[in-house]
Structure 1
């Protein structure tokens, strides 16, 4: 199964929280309380998002964190890359691939095409869309809705 790490998921959740009120400055403690995550985890993620230039940090008693640009200009791909690194399905899908089998394997070009399609999809989804409560509409993707039921 392909899945994002919890840290990436948490980074998207806290970024979405910030996107809902972009005028506000957030402290790590505020976000930790609002989202229900440990403050050290939130602090680590905030630093990673600042390093990726997705957030800005303001120091001082009136300081905090804000989105570095509008939520409509930050993509799912940006957020994933900030925490996970470049999006790639296989080693040979990376630009600086070090795969020794690439000339013999026969599937590298196709994996690169799959990686490109995934990257384009992730780049088409903005933080503004992720922060909304209604489902994202992607015109060229048919997604079956999964309903979560309480165990009972």
Structure 2
């Protein structure tokens, strides 16, 4: 099963919150606003800063801010920042020594096509694309959260 890690999911939540609130926000404030544990938010922010998706500001009133708008942050950048390179198999991109059957494998190198397609799809979707239309903030358990997308029922035929 292909599934993003919880940490990557939390990273997207934190980035969306930084965008929604604007300016500089610290880890405790982001933890409170998102409902994600503060140590997890701190870890995510450090990884995102290392990948230059956010930048930290020290001192009083310090915290983190986005380095570019959500429309300029592909989902693939967030995944790579948190989980490392996107790779479906150990032998993708010609890697050696990741599989005990690699010398006999008949599909070695063929997974690259699938991997490239997934990377391309994730690179074509930005965080702005994940934001629901008319996004606002809603209260949930005492915390402000991004509003759920509004759906409109289709007329019956």
TM-score tier after normalising by the smaller chain length:
0.7 to 0.9
Unpaired segments of 5 or more residues in structure 1? 135-152
Counting only pairs closer than 5 Å after superposition, residues 103-118 of structure 1 correspond to structure 2 as 103-118=103-118
Equivalent residues of 2:94, 2:109 under 8 A apart? no
1:71 positional shift: 1.5
Unpaired segments of 5 or more residues in structure 2? 134-157
Higher strand share: 2
For the residue of structure 2 that corresponds to 1:56, the secondary structure is strand
1:101 positional shift: 4.2
Equivalent residues of 1:18, 1:67 under 8 A apart? yes
User: Cα–Cα, structure 1 residues 56 and 95, in superposed 2: closer, same or farther, change >3 Å?
Assistant: farther
Higher helix share: 1
Per the normalisation by structure 1, the TM-score is 0.80
The two structures, once aligned, show a CA RMSD in angstroms of 1.6
User: Cα–Cα, structure 1 residues 3 and 123, in superposed 2: closer, same or farther, change >3 Å?
Assistant: same
Counterpart for residue 61 of structure 1: 60
Equivalent residues of 1:49, 1:55 under 8 A apart? yes
Counterpart for residue 97 of structure 2: 98
Counterpart for residue 6 of structure 1: 6
Larger Rg: 2
Per the normalisation by structure 2, the TM-score is 0.77
Aligned residues: 132
The 1-side partners of 2:120 and 2:108 are apart by 18
